[in-house]
Amino acid sequence: MQTDQILMTFFAGVLFLGALGFFLGRNKAARARSGGVSMHSQPDQYAWFAVLTSAGPALIVAFLAAIVLGLFENAFPGWLAVAGSLGLGAFGLFVGLSRIRPELRARDSLERAVKWLLLAAASISILTTFGILFSILFEAIRFFQMESFWYFITGTNWAPGDAFLEAAGRAEATAGPSGNFGAVPLFAGTFMITAIAMLVAVPIGVSAAIYMAEYAPSRVRDAAKPVLEVLAGIPTVVYGFFAAITVAPLIVTAAESIGLEASFNNALAPGIVMGIMIIPFISSLSDDVISSVPTAMRQGSLALGTTRNETIRHVVLPAALPGIISATLLGVSRALGETMIVVMAAGLRPNLTGNPLEDMTTVTVNIVSSLTGDNEFDSAATLSAFALGLVLFVITLALNFASVVMIRRFREKYAVNDL
Amino acid sequence: MAQSLDDISRQLKKRHRRSARMKWLSMAALAAAGAFLVFFLVDMLVKGLPAFQQAYLHVEVDYSERASELPLAAVKADVRELVSRGYLRLIPNRMQKTPDLLGTQRMEWVLADDAVDQYLKGRKTGLKDKQITVVDRMAEAGNAELRFNTGFFTNGDSKLPEMAGLASAAIGSVLVLIVTMAFAFPVGVLTAVYLEEFASDNRFTRFLEININNLAAIPSILYGLLGLAIFINFFGAPRSSAVAGGLTLGLMTLPIIIITSQAALRAVPDSIRQGALAVGATRWQTVRDHVLPLSMPGMLTGSIIGMAQALGETAPLIIIGMIAYIPDAPTGFTDAATVLPAQIFTWAGMPESAYVERTAAGILVLLSVLISLNTLAVFLRKKFEHRW
């Protein structure tokens, strides 16, 4: 049987069992109650109890079976899992119905089941984190079994294509002296584009936040917030197209007019556009932080005769600094992990340079290019994506935690609770 | 030495000037962000609007015996290169369906080749001088004109720019979003209910909260690696399918839905809960019958915002193979599918100027869907907002 059909049969079966449990259970309870017996719970609660005892075990068994089938392919045929889980469900239905008596505390069982269900839902987010971590980690370990970790971190020659030739027995084709997976040029490119983005985003974002929090009349504020939200809501693929088709040619023309040579895949275009993308993140978080600096501090400062500029610069901003740094760190983490803009507008050539007008490539570009190529999944070229992903994961995780720590420091200092 | 009063007032003026300058500078920053948005939108409109029109040619089509074998023979030699090859290719098919056509000759409005289309829109093309004179003559006689491009909304992707449309990508997006929301909305709401209504403040709960905040900030491409490793390699979901893409985006949207749902639950005053508990409702009954209905508008708003984000997301979907060339619309959740942003990405990589135009037009469509979703969210929030 096809997977779809197996799934369909299973869900239809579970639905049928559940419905059967519900109606039979309610009937039984309602009959008992109309007979004049005082019951612990409502008929509907007995009905849900029967649903729980029938569909519950079936779902749990099926879930376990799916995991086992994922681990060991063809451990047992799929229809066996369906038959087994539905059979158990039918048995559970029988047991559940026979347990429906006036003294059964169906409501309490229901309450417990709901709590477990909620806990299960909540643990999905934890499973996601570990899923990301382990799925990347395992493949990355396989990569580092093939290639040197040390060279990956410190080497400067990134040539996955040569690794392929080497594996094909044409080692003389390689140019690299000690390896083909030296990721330093990728880190450098990522760092350069991130730096350009932050040079655009931090001054504009923080200044806009200062204006919104300290100067703007409420009408301007109400108009400006949606504008920034629209900026934040533009999909990254759109920004990427814009960077590649509009901004990059503009930069090339501008560079030519002052006698410089720029590549059409220059780092400046994705950097600037990424900066614009990050402005709303920085401005909205900074705005919240600046607004929650206690008014008493502003009043105290103004009462001493300082101008508004001096109050903002010497009192408000230092107080809000942890929050602004936190926003900046989040922005950096976003810039490092941003994919579409660099895939569309930055280059593919690993290039170790300090000139933003040249083309350079990034970590995320190489994750995409190695997973969309024609390589075997087990080749080092493909697995390198996971090694790069691991680096990205570790760095963004560290930045996010640093950001959380900073914002907590701010919150505790000024007893602000709504940040 | 003490400063004179003149010095001091001069200093004061300088301080006030500096203060005013700061105000203008900060205002300029905000204006710069707004100016960028305007520049961006105008740029997209200028690039994309022409794609909503498409060139058609009024030519004589000869449904001869020969044309059913060799479709090129259906039109005269001088316009053979000017009409869309995709249209010609369909001629034998049409002749089979309606046999009456055989042997007739008639004037028809026919889809033009992308080069003609671009020429009529005033762009440089690879048309030869002779062809240009033919097109000019036809345009003068009213036999070549631009019409509303319905194909853009009804066709799937195509290797011929004049035939390429958004339909299959749009259907793919809908399928993916159905999976995403079917997964993320219940799980997100249940998680939020657990955290706000049931969990006690212990180490596990705090870990959960930190974990969720962290998930919200993980780069989206890493979710793609997760989807590839778990859903496709481990559970064997079909590559490029709406299930794999939808679940991946579901995991990505989950933190947003959890966080906004938590805020919505927190906004319900405790007196409601106390009232329900006081008349003997259990915790779950309190939540189900009183707290959830009151917080539902807030949760829906958050979910729409999460959905808008999922709709615009591309990077994780590229990783799990949703940039395949899909000319026909997917019919099920396990079929290979593509989505709107992935379609935009594919077109953006094409060299023909007709594709650039279509990319921008696709962006306009995507942006208008996103903006309507966000407006809907704001509207819902305004309409159902309840201040206690």
Give the pairing of strands B53-62 and B144-148.
antiparallel
Residue with tokens 């083309």: A359
User: Which amino acid is present at A284?
Assistant: S
Nearest CA in chain B to A227: B34
Q: Do A122 and B194 lie within an 8 Å CB cutoff?
A: yes
Q: Is B101 on the interface with A (CB under 8 A)?
A: no
Subunit contact B214:A401, Cβ cutoff 8 A: yes
Mean pLDDT of B9-14: 89
* Residue A176: predicted pLDDT: 47
**What pLDDT, on the 0 to 100 scale, is given for residue A173?**
47
A122 with B190: Cβ contact below 8 A? yes
Distance CA A88, CA B337 (A): 37
Give me the residues of A, 114-153, that contact B with CB < 8 A.
114-115, 117-119, 121-122, 124-126, 128-129, 131-132, 135-136, 138-139
pLDDT in tens, B123-151: 777 778 888 888 888 888 888 888 888 88
DSSP states of A124-152 as a string?
HHHHHHHHHHHHHHHHHHHHHHHS-HHHH
Tens-digit pLDDT profile for residues B325-367? 877 778 878 788 889 999 999 998 888 888 888 999 999 999 9
**Does B220 contact chain A (CB < 8 Å)?**
yes
Tell me the shortest Cα–Cα distance from A400 to chain B, in angstroms.
6
pLDDT, tens digit, for every residue of B270-317?
999 999 999 988 888 899 999 999 998 889 988 998 999 999 998 999
**For B332, nearest residue in chain A (alpha carbons):** A4
Q: What is the predicted pLDDT for the residue at A174? A: 47
Does B218 contact chain A (CB < 8 Å)?
Answer: yes
Q: Do the Cβ atoms of B308 and A233 come within 8 Å? A: yes
Ordered by where they begin, the domains of chain A are 3-134 (no CATH), 184-414 (1.10.3720.10)
Residue count of chain A: 419
Q: Tell me the residue ranges of DSSP E strands in B292-352.
A: none
Q: Which residue of B has its CA nearest to A331?
A: B217
A310/B251 touch (CB, cutoff 8 Å), yes or no: no
Angle of helix A78-99 relative to helix A43-71, nearest 10 degrees?
Answer: 160
Query: What are the CA-CA distances from residue B226 to residues A306, B230, B233 (Å)?
Result: 54, 6, 10
* Residue A75 touches partner B, C-beta closer than 8 Å: no
| Orientation of helix B340-348 relative to helix B353-384, angle to 10° | 150
Q: Is B193 helix (H, G, I), strand (E, B) or coil?
A: helix
Confidence of residue B159 (pLDDT cuts 50, 70, 90): confident
Q: How does pLDDT run across B190-245, given as a tens digit for each residue?
A: 999 999 988 888 888 888 988 998 888 899 999 999 998 888 888 777 888 888 99
Burial letters B132-166, b for 16+ CB under 10 A, else e: eebbeebbeeebbbbeebebbeebbbeebbbbbbb
B34-49 pLDDT, tens per residue?
999 999 999 999 988 8
Which domains are delineated in chain B?
57-91+105-147 (no CATH), 167-384 (1.10.3720.10)
Q: What mean pLDDT is reported for chain B?
A: 87
> What is the predicted pLDDT for the residue at A283?
92
pLDDT band at B249; cut points 50, 70, 90: very high
- pLDDT tens series, chain A, 419 aa: 466 777 788 888 888 888 888 888 788 777 777 777 777 777 778 878 888 888 788 888 888 887 787 777 666 777 777 788 888 888 887 777 777 777 778 788 888 888 888 988 999 988 888 988 988 998 889 888 888 888 888 888 888 776 656 655 555 544 444 567 888 889 999 999 999 999 999 999 999 999 999 898 889 888 888 888 888 889 999 999 999 999 999 999 998 888 888 888 888 999 999 999 999 999 999 998 998 889 999 999 999 989 988 999 999 999 999 999 999 999 999 999 999 999 998 877 887 877 888 888 899 998 988 888 666 677 788 888 899 999 999 999 999 989 888 888 888 887 765 55
Q: Which of A107, A215, A309 sits opposite B282 (nearest CB)?
A: A107
The percentage of chain B sitting over the pLDDT mark of 70, rounded to a whole number, equals: 99
Q: How confident is the model at residue A1, as a pLDDT?
A: 47
- Residue A363 CA to its chain's centroid (Å): 17
